[in-house]
Chain A
């Protein structure tokens, strides 16, 4: 609705006024939703600066009586959070790299190439997304163990890196790119690999950025996988580490909140860094062939 007004030509006076009013409405709504979105985070931040027994004091006290900044240093000393963070970063980067590369490769075949069994294979991909992990977690665990992948970061990497999700996502984006572009390139003598590299990749920056963000965030926040596969402290990840603050006879929710706030930072940086790819449109010159 707020698409940029493309033509710089004569804009009538009344439509300009309507445009401004429209903009104001959009802002008011956006700000309202943004506030709604942020309220729980305000609570999280406030809880991260309290003592454990104050976290659940009720009614809600938004501003802590005293600010317990030491919570933010406690999380590093009470559990080996630095090790966990390092492990999580290694896994998240590796998974993101493999996932993005192999899925964009496979998605090209699904979206632009014709071959036998394409639809069935694609359905197999989607079918596995539909099966909840809890149902095949044990057979998978047993297989992976027999391959010597128990209690190793590598297990989490291979578990996450070949998910059907990435292939599905990229295929849908490639579907958007006009097939004529590929055909023109084929006539120009480009191989399929060349088309993928020289045409599809550059045109799908936004899609790749999306996949990178999702994969990174998904891996960063994964809990069940690391919980089942990683056992020794040296191998654990942040989400598993977070749960160490919830114990049988006590819980440190103030530390959970502090650690959650900290673990928001790297993911937010990834998101902000990749934002710029959502602003560039497709280079129109490439389309006029």
Chain B
């Protein structure tokens, strides 16, 4: 964990000061890192290995190396339902996303993430700024918005299924607004996904609001004072001071939110079970089924690796943007 030969700026030798600083840094890291390595990193590495192996449980040493077989398995498109004429590359892609479990789960998960992340972030920033200081009753409001995150998932999802039922309160509201929709959301191929998105935004906006609230406390007041003296209006202050100052937090929030969206499981498992059909089948639902219904642990790990690659790619992009932005 110490030396990285490919480090961009190779120095002949570490100076004594540098060595001392590195040691100090490691001493800061150690208490957390040891626990992290033993209980999380090692199992994760094992699961990476498992994605290239066959393993049916029992001793970990009984893993059998299989190369890319697990990956071939999940990407395989036997295309039973296709006629010969359909067999082109594009038709293959379409088939993958419309009929293969992995393709459907990927499509659903990406759609869910792309909608949920910005919606949640906008809601939570707005709430945090509205409740930052001057609103009377801010304490009560914050507690109310945080409440959804605090409640147990089983109870919450059961409640929401009821709220979203045919003739339920949400549909009554929609009908009052003149939109003609009266079907249980979770029973409709399109709306089932939106019901998951709705519950996720509802549950998470208070959570990220808290993070933003904490971050707002960290913005030095004199920045605003100086801006006021310079005659900047509220909106200019928001775009020129608040948003840039919040950027490390936004980096954190967007990465965490993206990851948690990619990993969505509970809400789907309790509310829709991935249905109707495969309309809300997500990557982790698929992983879970593969591991604990079909007992194909290697394949389950392989699906997880796809998730890992996507998330790491997006995170590295965000990370490098943050570095440029914050200039360390």
Does A3 lie within 8 Å of B224, measured CB to CB? Answer: yes
> Is B33 close to A, CB under 8 A?
yes
Query: Which of B39, B41, B210, B215 is in CB contact (< 8 Å) with A176?
Result: B215
The distance in angstroms between the C-alpha atoms of A277 and B210, with both chains bound, is 11
Contact indicator per residue, chain B 41-63, by CB within 8 Å of chain A (1) or not (0): 11110110010000001001000
Query: Which of B36, B43, B221, B262 is in CB contact (< 8 Å) with A136?
Result: B43
- B320 to chain A minimum Cβ distance, whole angstroms, is 10
Query: Which of B33, B149, B297 is in CB contact (< 8 Å) with A138?
Result: B297
Contact indicator per residue, chain B 303-324, by CB within 8 Å of chain A (1) or not (0): 1100110011001100100000
> Is B73 close to A, CB under 8 A?
no
**Residue on B nearest A147 in the bound complex, by CB:** B38
Does B133 lie within 8 Å of A2, measured CB to CB? Answer: yes
Query: Which residues in A have their C-beta under 8 angstroms from that of B215?
Result: 173, 176, 206
The distance in angstroms between the C-alpha atoms of A121 and B4, with both chains bound, is 11
Query: Which of A129, A204, A209, A263 is in CB contact (< 8 Å) with B152?
Result: A263
Does B167 lie within 8 Å of A59, measured CB to CB? Answer: yes
**Residue on A nearest B326 in the bound complex, by CB:** A175
Does B3 lie within 8 Å of A116, measured CB to CB? Answer: yes
Most buried by B among A6, A98, A103: A6
Does A257 lie within 8 Å of B155, measured CB to CB? Answer: yes
The distance in angstroms between the C-alpha atoms of A118 and B304, with both chains bound, is 25
Does A173 lie within 8 Å of B214, measured CB to CB? Answer: yes
The distance in angstroms between the C-alpha atoms of A27 and B32, with both chains bound, is 43
The distance in angstroms between the C-alpha atoms of A135 and B1, with both chains bound, is 24
The distance in angstroms between the C-alpha atoms of A239 and B308, with both chains bound, is 28
- B23 to chain A minimum Cβ distance, whole angstroms, is 9
Which of A67-75, A79-87, A279-287 is the interface stretch? A279-287
Query: Which residues in A have their C-beta under 8 angstroms from that of B1?
Result: 117, 121
Taking CB atoms and an 8 Å cut-off, the chain B residues in 113-151 that contact chain A are 127, 129-135, 139, 141-151
Known A-B contacts A267-B150, A271-B146; A130 and B28 likewise in contact (beta carbons under 8 Å) = no
The distance in angstroms between the C-alpha atoms of A214 and B35, with both chains bound, is 19
Query: Which of B21, B202, B248, B262 is in CB contact (< 8 Å) with A175?
Result: B248
> Is B278 close to A, CB under 8 A?
no
Does A1 lie within 8 Å of B130, measured CB to CB? Answer: yes
Does B32 lie within 8 Å of A103, measured CB to CB? Answer: yes
Does A135 lie within 8 Å of B326, measured CB to CB? Answer: no
Query: Which residues in B have their C-beta under 8 angstroms from that of A98?
Result: 35
Contact indicator per residue, chain A 170-198, by CB within 8 Å of chain B (1) or not (0): 00110111100000000000001000100
Contact residues of B: prevailing secondary structure: helix
Contact indicator per residue, chain B 192-219, by CB within 8 Å of chain A (1) or not (0): 0000000000100011001101110111
Query: Which of B29, B234, B311, B319 is in CB contact (< 8 Å) with A106?
Result: B29
> Is A93 close to B, CB under 8 A?
no
Does B152 lie within 8 Å of A164, measured CB to CB? Answer: no
> Is B104 close to A, CB under 8 A?
no
Query: Which residues in B have their C-beta under 8 angstroms from that of A142?
Result: 60
The distance in angstroms between the C-alpha atoms of A160 and B46, with both chains bound, is 19
> Is B111 close to A, CB under 8 A?
no
- B322 to chain A minimum Cβ distance, whole angstroms, is 9
Does A162 lie within 8 Å of B159, measured CB to CB? Answer: no
Does B144 lie within 8 Å of A105, measured CB to CB? Answer: no
Most buried by A among B224, B259, B316, B319: B259
Most buried by B among A37, A44, A192: A37
Taking CB atoms and an 8 Å cut-off, the chain A residues in 229-277 that contact chain B are 239, 242-243, 246, 253, 256-257, 260, 263-264, 267-268, 271-272, 275, 277
**Residue on B nearest A208 in the bound complex, by CB:** B214
A residues in contact (CB < 8 Å) with B: 1-7, 23, 26-27, 29-30, 33-34, 36-41, 43-44, 47, 58-60, 98, 101-103, 105-106, 108-110, 113-118, 120-121, 123-132, 134-140, 142-144, 158-159, 161-169, 172-173, 175-178, 192, 196, 203-204, 206-207, 209-210, 213-214, 217, 221, 223, 239, 242-243, 246, 253, 256-257, 260, 263-264, 267-268, 271-272, 275, 277-282, 284, 287-288
Could you give 24 example pairs across A and B, Cβ below 8 Å?
Answer: A1-B130, A3-B129, A3-B132, A30-B131, A37-B145, A38-B147, A39-B163, A40-B160, A60-B162, A109-B28, A121-B29, A130-B315, A135-B300, A136-B44, A138-B297, A139-B46, A139-B47, A140-B46, A162-B35, A173-B215, A206-B213, A221-B152, A278-B210, A288-B222
Nearest 10 CB-CB pairings of A with B:
A162-B35, A135-B304, A130-B311, A140-B43, A260-B155, A109-B28, A136-B47, A40-B159, A102-B32, A139-B46
B residues in contact (CB < 8 Å) with A: 1-4, 7, 21-22, 24-26, 28-29, 31-33, 35-36, 38-44, 46-47, 50, 57, 60, 127, 129-135, 139, 141-156, 158-160, 162-163, 165, 167-169, 202, 206-207, 210-211, 213-215, 217-222, 224-225, 228, 234, 237-238, 245, 248-249, 251-252, 255-256, 259, 262-263, 265-266, 283-284, 287-288, 291, 297, 300-301, 303-304, 307-308, 311-312, 315-316, 319, 326
